[in-house]
Structure 1
């Protein structure tokens, strides 16, 4: 009987542990599928409705949702533009934030998805400037050309704007999608990556009616 009780207790603990792992592996769901941005923010792109994708290369949820965002972006009307905004919630995230804008400036955003893959699939530790420079060189980018842009004033200006947008939109987690300067939705609000894209589309239709 004592052995049986011990086995039952062990099974109960294992079940609770498995449940905890399951919950933590998926986005939580908030009471509302979106929040309203107050005050509403103007577009930085003249004549276009902006969809801002707040993301971080180190974020596993961003890595999972990125293919869905890319597919959705191809369906957006001509008066809508998707802009990616790398987020740095702390100093340790700054170098990867700079990486995105450097790839953009070098017209090498073809490597955007590969950064996610390197970190989350290949488990490469490309979190600081030295490791990033080595990885970029492996992708065929000239080391000096990369460093010149990476450390430029232009990149720092873009980072300052990204930090400002993160505060203006009150972004507390990634990934998050801001629609037309008026709404923000995310997997933590909708409960799924697919649900976030659907909610973003619905909000976009409201803004673009």
Structure 2
């Protein structure tokens, strides 16, 4: 089975009562490999062109694409920054957003890919605070420090900003890449994971050439 029909048909979301579920990707009918954002959005990182990787830990496509984006990010020039943005399509996913930002606050983003592995390969249901705290303890993270980060003002602010960005960029499917505040592309538009990264590179090249 080709990847494109699957990507055009499904979007991973999480329901705490039912586990992983799927919802349609609204960008599936996009006539091109990207959409243009109007007006263009400013960068949150001073002096840098931002590439925003919108993802959800519950999304199997994100789990597959994450290492590809990581490898691509290592090839980009110093004036470009790739930022992961966890988003929630329902209230049940909010704790997963806080998990990412808590790991970031604790300087433990080395566990980022392991979260995907735990959910999708090991079938661990780490979808709420208690389950997350139990899991991070097994990874050498102090439970008290994790709880403090999870409940912190800083983490809650970052979740709020992530939700704002998802709304601004009209992100209704994951994974999606927003490039330079001007464009959004995704595997559902290009047909493959690699195609989305290739398209993002083309868009980035256009932006950098115009600077």
Same topology, TM > 0.5: yes
For the pair shown, which has the larger CA radius of gyration, 1 or 2? 1
- Classify the secondary structure of the residue corresponding to 2:67: helix
The answer on whether the counterparts of 1:26 and 1:192 sit within 8 Å (CA) in structure 2 is: no
Aligned-pair CA distance for 1:31: 2.5
RMSD between aligned alpha carbons? 1.4
Q: Do the aligned partners of residues 206 and 164 (structure 1) sit closer, same or farther apart at CA in structure 2, a change above 3 Å counting? A: same
- Classify the secondary structure of the residue corresponding to 1:27: helix
In structure 2, what is the equivalent of residue 55 of structure 1?
A: 55
Distance 2:3 2:142 in 1: 43
The answer on whether the counterparts of 2:51 and 2:180 sit within 8 Å (CA) in structure 1 is: yes
Q: Do the aligned partners of residues 123 and 187 (structure 1) sit closer, same or farther apart at CA in structure 2, a change above 3 Å counting? A: same
Aligned-pair CA distance for 1:39: 1.1
> Structure 1: where are the runs of 5+ without partners?
1-18
> Structure 2: where are the runs of 5+ without partners?
9-27
Q: Do the aligned partners of residues 119 and 24 (structure 1) sit closer, same or farther apart at CA in structure 2, a change above 3 Å counting? A: farther
User: Following superposition of structure 1 onto structure 2, how do residues 115-126 of structure 1 map, counting pairs within 5 Å?
Assistant: 115-126=115-126
The answer on whether the counterparts of 1:102 and 1:150 sit within 8 Å (CA) in structure 2 is: yes
In structure 2, what is the equivalent of residue 194 of structure 1?
A: 194
Distance 2:143 2:5 in 1: 37
Q: TM-score, normalised by structure 1?
A: 0.88
In structure 1, what is the equivalent of residue 7 of structure 2?
A: 27
- Classify the secondary structure of the residue corresponding to 2:177: strand
Distance 1:93 1:82 in 2: 22
Aligned-pair CA distance for 1:27: 1.4
For the pair 1:185 / 2:168, whether they are aligned, the reply is no
- Classify the secondary structure of the residue corresponding to 1:115: helix
Aligned-pair CA distance for 1:89: 1.2
Distance 1:137 1:24 in 2: 38
Aligned-pair CA distance for 1:25: 7.1
In structure 1, what is the equivalent of residue 131 of structure 2?
A: 131
CA deviation profile, 1:66-94 (whole Å, cap 9, x unmatched):
11001000001010000000001111000
Q: Count residues in correspondence.
A: 189
Distance 1:64 1:138 in 2: 24
Q: TM-score, normalised by structure 2?
A: 0.87
The answer on whether the counterparts of 1:185 and 1:200 sit within 8 Å (CA) in structure 2 is: yes
In structure 2, what is the equivalent of residue 104 of structure 1?
A: 104
- Classify the secondary structure of the residue corresponding to 2:53: strand
